Structure 1
Amino acid sequence: MARVAFLGLGVMGFPMAGHLAAAGHEVTVWNRSAAKARAWSEKHKGRIAATAREAASGAELVMACVGNDDDLRQVCLGDEGAFAGMGKGAVFVDHTTVSATVTRELSAIAAGRGFGFVDAPVSGGQAGAENGQLSVMCGGESDDYARAEPVIAAYARICRLMGPSGAGQLTKMCNQIAIAGLVQGLSESLHFAEKAGLSIPEVVEVISQGAAASWQMQNRYQTMAKNRFDFGFAVDWMRKDLGICLGAADENGASLPVTALVDQFYKDVQQMGGGRWDTSSLIARLRR
Structure 2
Amino acid sequence: MVHSMTGYGKAVVELPHKKLTIEIRSLNSKQFDLFTRIPMIYREKEIGLRNDLSKKLERGKIDLSFTVEHISKDVSASIDHTLLKQYHQEIKALAQEMYLEEPKDWFQTLLRMPDVMKQDIEELDDEEWALIEKTIEKAVNELIGFRVQEGEMLKNLLVEKTANIRQLLQDVESYEGERIEKVKSRIYDGLATLENKEYDTNRFEQEMIYYIEKLDVNEEKSRLTHHLDYFIETLNDQKSQGKKLGFIAQEMGREINTLGSKSNHSDIQRIVVQMKDELEQIKEQILNIL
More helix by share: 2
Task: Quickly name the TM-score band, shorter chain normalised.
Answer: under 0.3
Q: Which has the higher contact order (CA 8 A, sep 6+)?
A: 2
TM-score norm. by structure 2 comes to 0.25
